[in-house]
Structure 1
Amino acid sequence: MGFRLSKIYTRTGDKGETGLGDGRRVAKDHPRVEAIGEVDTLNSQLGLLLAGLAAETARYPGLKEVSDVLGPCQHRLFDLGGELAMPAYQALNAAEIERLEAAIDVWNEELGPLENFILPGGSTLIAQAHVCRSLARSAERRCQHLNAVEPLAGPGLAYINRLSDLLFVAARVIARRQGVAEVLWEAAVKPGS
């Protein structure tokens, strides 16, 4: 494979525009660039979660499976970013969505039904998984906004939706495998109760 970047700065974006993979120049706040940016932010935060999982695997061996499931997601998010940057390019496929759904189903069986709302917390890893989940939802909203302006082809929207579901369940699995109680939501006390 040849060099991907020969120069990091080009000065071509100094006036608020950027180039897409298909050669188009668009404003840096164009819905497509916003979607690319949200996917990139999610990927960066997922990298932080994966680093944390790797650091804790010796203490909690069950976390390796979580890493094994989430690790490929970084590559698929990069694929999704490529699809967003180059609209004719298609990298994601339905098999990857099925992989996420299978992991969700296996983990949900381990966890059992959710009986209360849970809050992001309990451990740094659990909270980071929830950060990733909320960023996946944000990326999904940006992609949906773009889809309303320029319809997206392929399974990218379904993938990002399913990934947010996976990250929610991953947060719960991390709690279980760390032996940390989930932080349950406590409703506000209503006046006069």
Structure 2
Amino acid sequence: MANRLTKIYTRTGDKGTTSLANGSKVNKYHPRIEALGDTDELNCLLGVLIAELTAQEPLRKLLLQCQNDLFDLGGELAVADPGYTVITNDVITQMEREIDSLNSQLPPLKEFILPGGNRAAALCHQARSVCRRAERRIVELAHQETVNQLSATYLNRFSDLLFVAARVFARQNGGEEVLWQPRKPDNQSS
């Protein structure tokens, strides 16, 4: 494989613009760059989560595939060509199968749960929150420019996967999910 980067800094972005993969320049605050940045942040956070897992952890392989999918999704955003798509219905259908499989092993959810339980579960919840933000950014971008609509769908499903994975992680090694304990409003009697 040829070297992709021969020089790390180029100084071309010092004036507040950046280049897309198609060669066009946009402001660093452009909605496409915001969507790219949030997708990258999600991928980085997923890397932290994966680093917490042992090589034998069953969810590790799935999360590594999702990390690659996120890189592909970022590539779609960077290319900025409506004809260039990597995220397809097949990718989403496979993720839905994974969600259903994981969820079938869990008890029905009867209460709201709080982020936490253990480090892996908490990181899943944090990643889920960042994933929702990335999804909102892509939806916002789609109102201004043509993007692969399945990118937003993928992120929507991925946030669901992260929620279910958080539930799985929280229950490992005899652990429990952290249930929300709402306060009663002042105007209600005990």
Question: Under a length normalisation based on structure 2, what TM-score does the superposition of the two structures give?
Answer: 0.94
Q: Structure 2: where are the runs of 5+ without partners?
A: none
- Distance (whole Å) between structure 1 residues aligned to residue 134 and residue 143 of structure 2: 14
Report if the CA contact (8 A) 1:92-1:154 is conserved: no
1:39-54 alignment, distance < 5 Å: 39-54=39-54
Q: Which moved more, 1:18-27 or 1:92-101?
A: 92-101
- Distance (whole Å) between structure 1 residues aligned to residue 21 and residue 122 of structure 2: 35
In the alignment, what sits opposite 1:186?
181
In the alignment, what sits opposite 2:169?
174
In the alignment, what sits opposite 2:37?
37
SS of alignment partner, residue 26 of structure 1: strand
- What is the root-mean-square deviation in Å for CA atoms of aligned residues? 1.2
SS of alignment partner, residue 18 of structure 2: strand
In the alignment, what sits opposite 1:12?
12
Runs of 4+ deviating beyond 4 Å: none
- Distance (whole Å) between structure 2 residues aligned to residue 114 and residue 149 of structure 1: 38
Aligned match for 2:69, one of 71, 76, 86: 76
1:154 to partner: Cα distance: 5.1
SS of alignment partner, residue 18 of structure 1: strand
Report the identity percentage: 49
* Cα displacement string for residues 75-125 of structure 1 (whole angstroms, at most 9, x for unaligned residues): 010000000000222222222111211111011111031100000011111
Q: Structure 1: where are the runs of 5+ without partners?
A: none
- Distance (whole Å) between structure 2 residues aligned to residue 40 and residue 51 of structure 1: 17
1:136-147 alignment, distance < 5 Å: 136-147=131-142
In the alignment, what sits opposite 1:102?
97
Report if the CA contact (8 A) 1:49-1:128 is conserved: yes
- Distance (whole Å) between structure 1 residues aligned to residue 157 and residue 48 of structure 2: 20
* Cα displacement string for residues 6-32 of structure 1 (whole angstroms, at most 9, x for unaligned residues): 111000000100000111100000000
Q: Which amino acid aligns with 2:161?
A: L
For this pair of structures, how many residues does the alignment match? Answer: 186
Distance 1:148 1:178, change over 3 A: farther
- Distance (whole Å) between structure 1 residues aligned to residue 15 and residue 133 of structure 2: 26
